[in-house]
Structure 1
Amino acid sequence: MSVCYTDIPRPDEAVVANYQGAEVATVHEAQGRKGLLADYMRPIYKPAKIAGPAVTCEVAPGDNWMIHVAVEQCQPGDVLVVKPTSASSDGFFGDLLATSLKARGVRGLIIEGGVRDTATLTEMNFPVWSKTIFSQGCVKETIANVNVPITCANAYIRPGDMVVADEDGVVVVKREEASEVWGNVEKRMSNEEAKRIRFENGELGLDIYNMRERLANKGLVYAKYEDK
């Protein structure tokens, strides 16, 4: 039996709003260096940056039927996350499905599979992160699940979890941790800005990060080249 769950939980709208414009690297660090999707998940065009609650969707290899089912469950601000039940590079998604998602206010697509019509998707300004680009079309014969927990590109994602994506990749934040993690994101951004000012003023990372003593303890010795 397959199932499509409706009315999924989502983070508070204010929390979702906070993540708009957030950088994947900062979010990843702020939550203890976890939640990254695999490094092969790349945006089809740059610049691209989105954040929103996940609507999750399983598809059978070479079959995009369930994406049509998932579209109905999407609300404005969501991010659709699609995972084939077995590895597949087929072109599950193109400009027509993007038009449907865009009409519902969906921010973008994360798919561990193939997409096509990338030139049109770029013109539409519809962000997509995919495993590959491939023109192979799909059928509509096999059902699977919508809004169940999935493992997409090595990351465990549940319906309503926060998904953040930019040119550096994709990261997921558990929906119940999204507010706390955002607090850590703000702290990291403030700390990084303070360090940026120091770097701009000519200070070295060796001193900003207090590295000299640790380097000496590891055995690093400075010597003049002519004395070697």
Structure 2
Amino acid sequence: MHSTDVGVVRTRIDRADPKDVAALSAFGVATVHEAMGRTGLMRPYLRPAHPRARMCGTAVTVLLQPGDNWMLHVAAEQIRDGDVVVAACTTESEDGFFGELLATSFRARGCRGLVIDGGVRDVAALEEMDFPVFSRAVNARGTVKATLGSVNVPVVCGNALVRPGDVVLSDADGVVVVPRERAAGVAAASAVREAAEEGKRARFRAGELGLDLYGMRGPLAELGLRYED
């Protein structure tokens, strides 16, 4: 469910500590998702609008009405350096809510990128600008400015709850949301996981099998796995 507050702009939000955001930015989405207990992922239909799209920042959230991008313009005023805009819609809509002009406006405010459960357009220009966007669709269809939504209220984007100030990280593997109060702990857990994976990587390079590294042979045999010539 989305917030029931429609027609409100919250101008003061609690953002995750910039040091924790910077620490999280060093890791990939898969690492952070696993380190957080396999939670926080948005649905995989949210894909990068261009190949270089990657971002990490604190969420300014937007609740849109279908086919109407008015609240994205309203949200621009609330962006602070290091923010990521996360836009959800009251119902499914794949219209082109966002393009080059809004990206130019957002970047001037210090925005690190956009995640939107809707459509975007001007993709070639967004790539040329190196402005990261993850979206439900690419669609040239334009939008109107006629109905109120909200800014900086909790939203559900791609089936993930996002609160203003939470950390949003995205790369080629998808989008993950880290609750702002967990940012430091998840960054530390991600570092531990990455170090452990480097050790496993070295053993795989040396030719060791996952069957032995992970101690799989005994459980497989107990379940009746047989090897036959």
C-alpha separation in 1, matches of 2:53 and 2:28: 11
Q: Equivalent residues in 2 for 1:99-138 (5 A)?
A: 99-138=104-143
Distance, in Å, in 2 between the alignment partners of 1:155 and 1:207 is 36
Q: Identify the match of residue 47 of structure 2 among 4, 29, 42.
A: 42
TM-score, normalised relative to structure 2: 0.96
- Whether 1:17 aligns to 2:22 is yes
Aligned partner of 1:39: which letter? P
Q: Counterpart of 1:200?
A: 205
Cα drift, residue 13 of structure 1: 1.3
The residue number in structure 2 matching 1:188 is 193
- Code of the residue aligned with 2:10 in structure 1: it is Y
Task: Provide runs of 4+ in structure 1 moved above 2 Å.
Answer: none
Superposed CA offset, 1:97-120 (max 9, x none): 000011111110000000000010
1:1-228 map, 5 Å: 2-224=7-229
Q: Match of 1:73, SS?
A: coil
8 A contact 1:21–1:49 mirrored in 2: no
Q: Distance in 1 between matches of 2:128 and 2:18?
A: 29
- Which stretch shows the higher mean deviation, 42-51 or 139-148? 42-51
1:148-169 deviation line (CA, Å, top 9, x unaligned): 0001110011000110100010
Comparing 17-26 with 55-64, greater Cα deviation is found at: 17-26
Shift of 1:136: 0.7
Which runs of no fewer than 5 residues in structure 2 stay unpaired? 1-5
1:112 is paired with a residue of what secondary structure? strand
Would you say the 8 A contact 2:71–2:151 is kept in 1?
Answer: yes
What SS does structure 2 have at the residue aligned with 1:222?
coil
8 Å contact 1:21–1:50 — kept in the other structure? no
Q: TM-score, normalised by structure 1?
A: 0.96
8 Å CA contact retained: 2:24, 2:183: no
CA RMSD of aligned residues (A): 0.8
Q: In the TM superposition, what is the alpha-carbon distance from 1:144 to its structure 2 partner? A: 1.0
Amino acid in the other structure paired with 1:28: H
Kindly state the Cα deviation for residue 50 of structure 1 after the two structures are TM-superposed: 1.1
Higher gyration radius (CA): 1
The Cα of 1:48 is off from its aligned counterpart by 2.4
**Cα distance in structure 1, aligned partners of 2:50 and 2:87:** 19
One-letter amino acid of the counterpart of residue 213, structure 1: G
Shift of 1:47: 2.8
Aligned length: 224
SS of the aligned residue for 1:81 comes to strand
Q: Structure 1 vs Structure 2: percent identity of aligned residues?
A: 54
| AA matched with 1:174 | P
By how many angstroms is 1:223 displaced?
2.0
Whether the 8 Å contact between 2:52 and 2:132 is mirrored in structure 1 is no
